[in-house]
Structure 1
Amino acid sequence: MSTGPKAHVLVVEDDAPSRAILAYLAEDQGRARVSQAASAREMHAILARDAANLIILDLNLPDESGLSLARQLRTRSEVPIIVVTGDDSRDTRLAALEIGVDDFQTKPYDLKELGLRIRNQLRRSMAIRRPGQLESSARVAFAGFVLDHSERILERAEGPAVHLTPNEFMILAALLRRRNSSVSRASLLDAIGDSGDGPSDRAVDIYIKNLRAKIESDPRTPVIIATVRGFGYRLVG
């Protein structure tokens, strides 16, 4: 990590002294740059403008459950997540691991050990995101379109780009990550779970309807985004 762009670590912790310690460990003598958030709202605002290579996440936040945040993050990406929490119960640990977090550390944690765990997760994250691989994962082709995650736009093979709202983009990205598999409405809700208007199952259906109007040749008989009756949707192709 000593050459090229620095890795970006996002520390999400509402307790200021704990947040400062985690940021210090993550910074690792200048090897990484660190952003700090004291709430879920701040976390979402940072990620909207700057992708992270690693997220260190406290489970006890003032505005949203850390487990819910981890579920939303995992729905959208494979960014490594290290959970730090004072809750050492078996149920909480299993719930976090089932969601797909990469590490689970209970307070009080050993500073040297946690520092090494952070460094190891970053090393793996940056190795996966080598320049030659980043392009293929950032631009995903399907059905005559290319979804560009870095620019957050939907390109046509021919013609102008398609304008997507932020929620439409996140739903389409979630469907693409599980291409040809059924995705539940609940999972799609998780993909847009940071919305301030409290999205519902009905909202997901409206976003899908709007997406179909933008990408289907005939939105009344969709062939790209199929309905899975009583469950959710599936992106075909």
Structure 2
Amino acid sequence: MSSPVPPVSPDDEREARAASPLPPEAHVLVVEDDGEMRTLIAKFLRQNGFRVTGARNGAEMWDTISLAPVDLVLLDVMLPGQSGLDLCRMLRAKSEVPIIMVTARGEEADRVVGLELGADDYLPKPFGRPELLARIRAVLRRAQVGAARSGLVTGNRMMFENWVLDTRRRELAAPDGSAVDLSSGEYDLLLAFCEHPQRVLTRDQLLDLARNRISESIDRSVDVMVSRLRRKLEPLPDSPAIIKTIRGAGYMFVPAVARQ
């Protein structure tokens, strides 16, 4: 069951932009069965600097989590099959990922159940976009503080074969220290490879992992982007050693990746 996100006013947009920033590329998983609602939320969050993946149900939620690290789950209570409350309980048993429950129910008892099951916050429908953004940012900030106190914060630099990908600045440095220009699509695809090194990834998986920037949802767009990356990363692009083609399967990022 869904209710629409209210239209955003110019004042709302100014308020959202004024909110304190978070490190770029936080990955939000939106679990919502209503396609229009899911699309509106995803578009708004992407406009505010988040990576977003949508899921219609619990099965798609688990598939996404198995493919890529998720920084926050926005989880609707009323879902087909397993309810959001059931998914919240199961997810919390496996992970400390922040969870915000989205519900049309206004009773205090329902909100308490979600929080007791492990949700970090709740958002009742209908809600405004500035409130959605503020709650996501607040929960992510609390998670960052908790991770820092536990010594769990991962570094912002991903290193492979003397290359350095700075995920905070979205910059790539070559082994000689020079900066390498990357388009948004090239950066997101390289980030997907670095997050899943030494593993065969299909074109569909790569499209899903880098969907925020690869605009054409067709296999060929991945091939074109990989070709561009090879020209920038590989000493011999026609005989690639970093991004290998696995015939009939997809691609593999060969180097080991370290974080610092």
TM-score with structure 2 length normalisation?
A: 0.59
Which residue pairs with 2:195 in the alignment? 177
Which residue pairs with 2:45 in the alignment? 43
- SS at 1:137's partner residue? coil
Mapping for residues 42-121 of structure 1, pairs under 5 Å: 42-48=44-50, 75=67, 77-90=69-82, 103=99, 105=101, 107-108=104-105, 110-114=110-114, 117-118=119-120
In 2: Cα distance, 1:146 partner to 1:161 partner: 10
Aligned pair partner of 1:229 in 247, 251, 257? 247
Give 5+ residue unaligned stretches, structure 2: 8-18, 23-38, 122-138, 256-260
Mapped contact 1:76–1:173 kept (Cα < 8 A): no
CA deviations on 1:53-77 (whole Å, 9 max, x unpaired) are xx9x9967xxxx9987996787554
CA deviations on 1:199-236 (whole Å, 9 max, x unpaired) are 31110011000000001000000111111111111111
CA deviations on 1:70-118 (whole Å, 9 max, x unpaired) are 96787554302141242252398899979x9865856537234545721
Aligned pair partner of 1:145 in 163, 168, 182? 163
Mapped contact 1:86–1:108 kept (Cα < 8 A): no
Q: CA deviation at 1:188?
A: 0.6
Which residue pairs with 1:206 in the alignment? 224
Mapped contact 2:71–2:98 kept (Cα < 8 A): no
Identical pairs, percent: 24
TM-score with structure 1 length normalisation?
A: 0.64
Worse-matched range after superposition: 191-200 or 71-80: 71-80
Which residue pairs with 1:3 in the alignment? none
In 2: Cα distance, 1:225 partner to 1:204 partner: 12
Aligned length: 199
Structure of higher RCO (CA pairs closer than 8 Å, 6+ residues apart) = 2
CA deviations on 1:145-175 (whole Å, 9 max, x unpaired) are 1111100111123142111111111111111
Mapped contact 2:180–2:232 kept (Cα < 8 A): yes
Worse-matched range after superposition: 100-109 or 175-184: 100-109
Which residue pairs with 1:186 in the alignment? 204
In 2: Cα distance, 1:170 partner to 1:58 partner: 17
In 2: Cα distance, 1:171 partner to 1:209 partner: 11
In 1: Cα distance, 2:62 partner to 2:4 partner: 16
- SS at 2:180's partner residue? coil
User: What is the letter of the counterpart of residue 43 of structure 2?
Assistant: R
In 2: Cα distance, 1:14 partner to 1:34 partner: 26
